[in-house]
Amino acid sequence: MQLVLEKRAERSNTIALVSPLIAIGLTIVTMSILFVILGKNPISALIVYFIDPLTDAYSLQEIAVKASPLVMIAIGLSLCYLANAWNIGAEGQFLIGAVAGSWLAVKTQGTDAGFWVLPAMLLLGAVAGALYALIPAICKVRFGASEILTSLMLVYVADLLLDYLVRGPWRDPAGFNFPTTAEFDPVATVPILVEGGRLHLGAIITLLIVAAAAVLLGRTIKGFEIRVVGAAPRAARFGGFNANQLILLTFAVSGALAGLAGIIEVAGPVGHLQPGISPGYGFTAIIVAFLGRLNPIGILIAGLFLALTFIGGEQAQIAMKIPLDVTKVFQGILLFYVLACDSLILYRFRLVFASRQVSSGTG
Amino acid sequence: MELVEAIILSVLAASTPLLIAATGELVTERAGVLNLGVEGMMIVGAACGFGGAWLSGSTIIGALCGIIAGALLSLIFAMMTLGLAVNQVASGLALTILGIGLSGLIGAGFVGERITPAPHLHIPGLTDIPLIGRILFGEDPFIYLSLALIVAVWWFLYRTRPGLVLRACGDNHVSAHALGYPVLRIRTFAVMFGGACAGLAGAYLPLAYTPFFIPGMTAGRGWIALALVVFASWLPGRLVIGAYLFGAVTILQLHAQGAGVGIPSQFMSALPYLATVIVLVLISRARTGGSTAPAALGTVFVPDR
Amino acid sequence: MLNSAPDLHSTETPLLQTVGLTKRYGDFLANDRVDIEIWPRQIHALLGENGAGKSTLVKTIYGLIQPSEGEMLWQGKRMILSGPSEARSRGIGMVFQHFSLFDNLTVAENVALGLDGKETFKDMSARLEQVSNVYGLPLDPKREVWQLSVGERQRIEIVRALMQDPKFLILDEPTAVLTPQEADQLFIVLDRLKAEGRAILYISHKLEEVKRLCDTATILRLGKKVATCNPKAETASSLARMMVGTEIKEVRAGAERKITVPRLVVNDLSLEPDDPHGVRLQHISLELKGGEILGIAGVAGNGQDELFAALSGERLSQDPGTVVIEGVAAGHLSITQRRKLGAAFVPEERLGHGTAPRMKLSENALLTGHAASGMVQRGFINTTATLKTVDRATEAFDVRKAKRDPEAASLSGGNLQKFIVGREILRNPAVLVVSQPTWGVDAGAAAVIRQAVLDLAAAGAAVLVTSQDLDELAEITDRIAVMFHGRLSQPLATSEASREKLGLLMGGSSLDEREAAHAVGA
């Protein structure tokens, strides 16, 4: 018996819509098996993971708080991936954005600097993220170095830089030697949307970015350019589109969005700069981008779903002593299933039963 | 002299996991498949290797556990990219993400435990030769194994018929298929060899390098191994040079940190990663125009029937 | 070694017989109950249009594809092939149209991969030299394939097949890539193989060639066998009628064309290739006036692709004056700017170059139309305009498709080519550069496309046609120049360009004399 792929004459739009759902279903089945192996009741584990967070207001806000950076980064990554430019260093760009914006917060700390501080921090974060992302892009365009490897290497570098700053020059003198800056001033903090809650302005910014990306990709010639460069590079060149320019552009935009997400995270939910400000947002956003089928609306939904698993994972750890790593396993398996189901859009699967056995093998 | 000997010994030890993982990936890529999941397979190899050794008390069983874990993970990758024709870059990332999660889950029970590190070779007479004795005859067995492995891979690729067929698959899968070679099956073997090597390379870390397991202990070595294959222009001989150069960079920055040269330790720790970026740029620039990568590398192949 | 003397038995039963051979892909029947008989000492032609099922049939016989129904008999006994290596071990050899070679391996390694590895590499190399000498097909075993010409590459394929001492050899369009002289040499080899008692299945669409060489012809249409005949007793047009099923529309040159001003001028264009396996363009000059059609002949891989890239602006030249479009120095201008000057381009490769395969036709209309029409307004795409282009091309060029706006890859080769040519011609270009306009296209679509090119020239445009099909060039061009090793010959008037003359130029033989004359003149 053998699985055979047959190319479809046309991509199947129905399957393009259902495939993420099939993937989620298969992931849940696989996770149930994993829970059984871990000696947990799969039904109650799944309820803690996927249902409980949806039932109280605090968790719902927290989902939105976690989804914001994921969606923001994933939107940028989707532009890269559509253009066949593989930025996998969003985590590093996120950290650099956080560092650059925090610089201003640290420098203006305790001064009477006004309301301009936060906008300037956001701008700094975005610009720094874009510049940091341009390093691998330029190495790719100018010298042909694999952007996959260089962008990833720079994640480690960014991590070490952040570590150095909060242990060295920027450390809070009153912080009992903990590696962290002092709490940011109110003018350097992202405003909260609901009194007493955690939902902040970042959520609104994220929604605006999703809308902008949807218009860009669906309606404009630039969006068409991005799609065609990725889908058929030679045809794109024939159409007069410059792939190298697009690599630079998409890397810069995705770096800017990751950097913006970074500074919003630091100036919002976290409130100060410290190591471990990201639970792997930059990498999880890769999954969000693919689960959302590189489509802005899809990414919004996928981002909320993965944020749910973060919250559910935390609650499962508290309530059922399920290790946090289960969430990462879940995300990895989900990405595999998403990619596998996407294959159904272009191919039809068919099982072939070997009807004849012939003695001599092939080759 | 003591210091020089110590440095050389530690360079060899630091280079070995890079060399083993890169050797496996070289074979995979020569068959035309780009598996970016080396880091994920390594870290699972490390967790399973440590677990196996800790439970059994045997380094060999630990190493076997690492090999099997790496090979099994790569089999998932092969099913995705070869069986279902999924994009190799995305699948490799998925493999890494999955591997990091799995290793945390598997290793959770072993964190904080210690094992006896792999015994070093001791040949009476030879190992005791001053200066060179310990370097040539007194290492842990994995170091010799890694060198034997790369020689075997060279011999296989350039001196045997299956090696020729494997290279042919990496050059043009349509032609290989037209001549009747089972391209997907050959690539599956190549991917699994790469996975086994990555698993062994990961297992080396807790079995011989540091006698305990910590989550994330591969620290990007899988990605550096991928860069080494590019650096080596897909040639086994140059892989050895590249791996030892990188090992040297790692150890020298550690010694510099220890000596307290006044540079923040984080900057020294960033050196291997920055060196990777710089080397990739230099090597790619030197090759502008002509690429030595296998022609079919990373492309999807779906045979018609 | 050549011990294939036919015994009495094999003259009574066919060497190979297919009975009701059927291959189904989903609902599509690539082969529909095909019966064919191959006898020893026979050169058997397999004729049919593109998409008639010739490739499917020979791939089945070579074991690459498993038939859905029906069976094959080899020397009278039922044969089931597990794969090409079993086919080879029974004595079936194959020379592919798109060679099954490995560019970065040596000739000897390529040959070894086509054999079954039962001898050492050294013995194999010795035998390679012997076989290539016996048949007059010289090869340097140590060179890598990418360094070789197309003709040399085909020689590897043929020698590799002959080294298995096959009883039956399949050749798929072997002369498509050869000069007429090289083709003649191939026919000598084939006649010799036939005299040695081997059978040959010969796929070609060059009917004159088939009449001259083949003893029997089987004709396929839409997957079915429509006839088996003696090609020597038929005419080229009667064979063509059987292939197509209807009368083929003759292309009409129409009223005489008015030759006007120069619209496309190339001045001493030289360009280094951007990939190491490419060809360097050297001192190319030509002048093309409105109303004129210039053909460029040549064996594939002699710089035609590089010339197309230089003319279209996919590659830029340092010197603006090397390419002049409508009187404007354009060598440094991008493809979009050249389109705005009134130029249009149709590349050889339909899927992946001329169109993005997995994008809709309307998006593929936008691909080349975005600069010069109302398809884009202030950065936003006007989908009404892109769809209108699809509709107009569909109507004007009879593009058959399942729905209004399908993906490019879902169209058949002929229909997609009609769409691409239509997309460009509807923009009323002053200059059209088209590469291999009817390559792999059915006869009906080919006639539509050739007619469109003639009509465009009659309307005053300058047209440059690159093609490897000398018959096509003879049919539609006014003058023909030949590319060889990145150089372009002086054009000959089409009426004076005999196959022999063109063949010599395609082989590069008269190049030295012309260069000498050029030097004296300068």
Q: Where are the domains of chain A?
A: 1-31+322-352, 41-320
Burial class (CB in 10 A: 0-12, 13-18, 19+), C496: exposed
Question: Is residue C11 one of the residues assigned to a domain?
Answer: no
Q: What is the pLDDT of residue B256?
A: 83
Q: What is the pLDDT of residue C399?
A: 93
The subunits that touch chain A, with at least 3 C-beta pairs less than 8 Å apart, are B, C
> Hunting for tokens 């107009």 — which residue is that?
C392
Q: What is the pLDDT of residue C455?
A: 94
Q: Which residue of B has its CA nearest to A288?
A: B94
Which of the residue ranges A334-348, B116-130, C309-323 has the most confident prediction, judged by mean pLDDT? C309-323
Q: Into how many domains does chain C fold?
A: 2
- Specify whether the CB–CB gap between B237 and B81 falls below 8 A: no
Residue B183 has pLDDT above 90, yes or no: yes
Q: C85 touching B, CB under 8 A?
A: yes
Residue C516 has pLDDT above 50, yes or no: no
On chain C, the residues whose CB falls within 8 A of the CB of B172 are 100-103
Round the average pLDDT of chain C to a whole number and report it: 90
Min distance A280 CA to chain C CA atoms (Å): 34
Q: What is the pLDDT of residue B305?
A: 64
Given an 8 Å threshold on Cβ–Cβ distance, is C367 in contact with A238?
yes
pLDDT in tens, B285-300: 776 544 578 999 999 9
Query: What is the CATH number for C494?
Result: 3.40.50.300
Residue C522 has pLDDT above 50, yes or no: no
Round the average pLDDT of chain B to a whole number and report it: 91
On chain A, the residues whose CB falls within 8 A of the CB of B305 are 4, 352
Q: What is the pLDDT of residue C517?
A: 47
On chain C, the residues whose CB falls within 8 A of the CB of A245 are none
Min distance A31 CA to chain C CA atoms (Å): 35
Given an 8 Å threshold on Cβ–Cβ distance, is C103 in contact with B171?
yes
User: Which tokens in the block code for residue C171?
Assistant: 């050749």
User: What would the CATH number be for the domain defined by A41-320?
Assistant: 1.10.3470
- Same domain (yes/no): C209, C290: no
CA–CA distances in Å: residue B143 to residues A308, B8, B58? 46, 13, 18
Q: C372 touching A, CB under 8 A?
A: no
- Same domain (yes/no): C56, C140: yes
Question: Is residue C92 one of the residues assigned to a domain?
Answer: yes
Alpha helices in C270-398, H assignment, sequence order: 304-312, 335-340, 361-369, 383-397
Q: A238 touching C, CB under 8 A?
A: yes
Q: What is the pLDDT of residue B253?
A: 86
Q: How confident is the model at residue B115 (pLDDT cuts 50, 70, 90)?
A: confident
Q: Nearest 5 degrees, angle CA A146-CA A150-CA A153?
A: 145
Residue C62 has pLDDT above 50, yes or no: yes
Q: What is the pLDDT of residue C6?
A: 43
Given an 8 Å threshold on Cβ–Cβ distance, is A360 in contact with C357?
no
Min distance A273 CA to chain B CA atoms (Å): 17
Distance CA B279, CA B227 (A): 9
On chain C, the residues whose CB falls within 8 A of the CB of B163 are none
- Specify whether the CB–CB gap between C271 and C281 falls below 8 A: yes
Min distance A286 CA to chain B CA atoms (Å): 9
Distance CA C263, CA C255 (A): 21
Given an 8 Å threshold on Cβ–Cβ distance, is A153 in contact with B89?
no
Q: What is the pLDDT of residue A56?
A: 87
- Same domain (yes/no): C355, C221: no
Give the nearest partner residue to C407 out of A11, A220, A362, using CB atoms: A11
Q: Which domain holds residue B52?
A: 2-286
Q: How confident is the model at residue C5 (pLDDT cuts 50, 70, 90)?
A: very low
Of B45-54, B55-64, C225-234, C275-284, give the lowest mean pLDDT range.
C275-284
Give the nearest partner residue to A163 out of B95, B100, B266, using CB atoms: B266
Q: How confident is the model at residue C77 (pLDDT cuts 50, 70, 90)?
A: very high
User: Which tokens in the block code for residue A185?
Assistant: 């001033």
- Same domain (yes/no): C498, C387: yes
CA–CA distances in Å: residue B279 to residues A124, A146, A150, C162? 30, 11, 10, 48
Query: Which of C244, C274, C307 is the C-terminal boundary of a domain?
Result: C244
- Same domain (yes/no): C189, C319: no
Greater confidence (C479 vs B256) lies with C479
Question: Is residue C10 one of the residues assigned to a domain?
Answer: no
Q: Nearest 5 degrees, angle CA C247-CA C249-CA C255?
A: 150
- Same domain (yes/no): C231, C292: no
Residue C519 has pLDDT above 50, yes or no: no
Q: What is the pLDDT of residue A290?
A: 93
Q: What is the pLDDT of residue A363?
A: 31
Give the nearest partner residue to C103 out of B178, B180, B295, using CB atoms: B295
Helix axes A90-107, A117-143, angle to 10 degrees: 140
Q: Nearest 5 degrees, angle CA B151-CA B297-CA B21?
A: 40
Q: What is the pLDDT of residue A177?
A: 83
Chain B interface, best mutation among C23, C56, C86, C113, by max B CB count within 10 A: C113
For the CA atoms of C91, C97, C103, C106, the dihedral, rounded to the nearest 10 degrees, stands at 30
Question: Is residue B69 one of the residues assigned to a domain?
Answer: yes
Given an 8 Å threshold on Cβ–Cβ distance, is B305 in contact with A4?
yes
Question: Is residue C69 one of the residues assigned to a domain?
Answer: yes
Min distance B221 CA to chain A CA atoms (Å): 10
How many C-beta atoms surround the C-beta of residue B134 within 10 A?
20
Which residues are C302's β-sheet partners?
none
Exposure class string for C172-189: b at 16+ Cβ within 10 A, else e: bbbbbbbbbebbeebeee
Give the DSSP H or E segment for A333.
helix A325-346
Residue C503 has pLDDT above 60, yes or no: yes
Q: What is the pLDDT of residue C319?
A: 93
On chain B, the residues whose CB falls within 8 A of the CB of A347 are 84-85, 302
Q: How confident is the model at residue C118 (pLDDT cuts 50, 70, 90)?
A: confident
Query: Which of C185, C215, C244 is the C-terminal boundary of a domain?
Result: C244
How many C-beta atoms surround the C-beta of residue A352 within 10 A?
11
- Same domain (yes/no): C297, C401: yes
Question: Is residue B296 one of the residues assigned to a domain?
Answer: no
Min distance A64 CA to chain C CA atoms (Å): 32
pLDDT in tens, C387-414: 999 999 999 999 999 899 999 998 988 9
Question: Is residue C3 one of the residues assigned to a domain?
Answer: no
Alpha helices in B108-235, H assignment, sequence order: 133-137, 141-159, 161-171, 173-178, 183-204, 221-231
Percent of chain C with pLDDT over 90: 70
Q: Which residue of B has its CA nearest to A284?
A: B97
Q: How confident is the model at residue C509 (pLDDT cuts 50, 70, 90)?
A: confident
Q: Which residues of B touch C (CB under 8 A)?
A: 161, 164-165, 167-168, 171-172, 174-181, 289-290, 294-295, 304-305
Q: What is the pLDDT of residue A2?
A: 72
Q: Which residues of chain A have pLDDT under 50?
A: 355-363
Span C235-248, average pLDDT: 84
Q: Which domain holds residue C410?
A: 262-521
Q: Nearest 5 degrees, angle CA C31-CA C33-CA C34?
A: 75
- Same domain (yes/no): C334, C432: yes
Exposure class string for C235-247: b at 16+ Cβ within 10 A, else e: eeeebbebbbeee
Closest CA to A86 of A275, A230, A277: A230
Given an 8 Å threshold on Cβ–Cβ distance, is B174 in contact with C100?
yes
Q: A356 touching C, CB under 8 A?
A: yes
Given an 8 Å threshold on Cβ–Cβ distance, is B97 in contact with A335?
yes
Question: Is residue C143 one of the residues assigned to a domain?
Answer: yes
User: Which tokens in the block code for residue B94?
Assistant: 């998925």
Q: C276 touching B, CB under 8 A?
A: yes
Give the nearest partner residue to A347 out of B85, B99, B100, using CB atoms: B85
Closest CA to C49 of C443, C480, C344, C429: C443
Q: Assign C464 to helix, strand or coil.
A: strand
Give the DSSP H or E segment for C481.
strand C479-484
Q: What is the pLDDT of residue B238?
A: 92
Give the nearest partner residue to B223 out of A135, A149, A161, using CB atoms: A149
Given an 8 Å threshold on Cβ–Cβ distance, is A143 in contact with B288?
yes
Q: What is the pLDDT of residue A353?
A: 65
Min distance B8 CA to chain A CA atoms (Å): 26
CA–CA distances in Å: residue C72 to residues C57, C59, C69? 11, 13, 10
Contacts of B155 (CB under 8 A, 6+ apart): B163
Given an 8 Å threshold on Cβ–Cβ distance, is A235 in contact with C352?
yes
The subunits that touch chain C, with at least 3 C-beta pairs less than 8 Å apart, are A, B
Residue B1 has pLDDT above 70, yes or no: no
Contacts of C122 (CB under 8 A, 6+ apart): none
Given an 8 Å threshold on Cβ–Cβ distance, is A153 in contact with B264?
no
User: Which tokens in the block code for residue C158?
Assistant: 């043929």
Q: Given the DSSP bridges, would you call strands C462-466 and C293-297 parallel, antiparallel or unpaired?
A: parallel
- The phi-psi region of residue A86 (left if phi > 0; otherwise alpha if psi is between -120 and 50; otherwise beta) is beta
- Same domain (yes/no): C432, C514: yes
Question: Is residue C8 one of the residues assigned to a domain?
Answer: no
Greater confidence (C510 vs C75) lies with C75
Query: What is the CATH number for B148?
Result: 1.10.3470.10
Q: How confident is the model at residue C41 (pLDDT cuts 50, 70, 90)?
A: very high
Q: Assign C219 to helix, strand or coil.
A: strand
Residue C2 has pLDDT above 60, yes or no: no
Q: Given the DSSP bridges, would you call strands C479-484 and C293-297 parallel, antiparallel or unpaired?
A: parallel
Percent of chain B as helix, strand, coil, to the nearest 5:
70, 0, 30
Restricting to C residues 106-145, those with a Cβ less than 8 Å away from any Cβ of B are: 109, 112-114, 117
User: Which tokens in the block code for residue C454?
Assistant: 């003639």
> Hunting for tokens 């008269």 — which residue is that?
C510
Q: What is the pLDDT of residue A113?
A: 82
Chain B interface, best mutation among C64, C99, C102, by max B CB count within 10 A: C102
Q: What is the pLDDT of residue C520?
A: 42
Given an 8 Å threshold on Cβ–Cβ distance, is B179 in contact with C274?
no
Q: Which residue of B has its CA nearest to C277?
A: B290
Instruction: Provide the terminal-to-terminal Cα distance of chain C, rounded to the nearest Å.
Output: 57
User: Which tokens in the block code for residue A130?
Assistant: 């874009």
Q: C295 touching A, CB under 8 A?
A: no
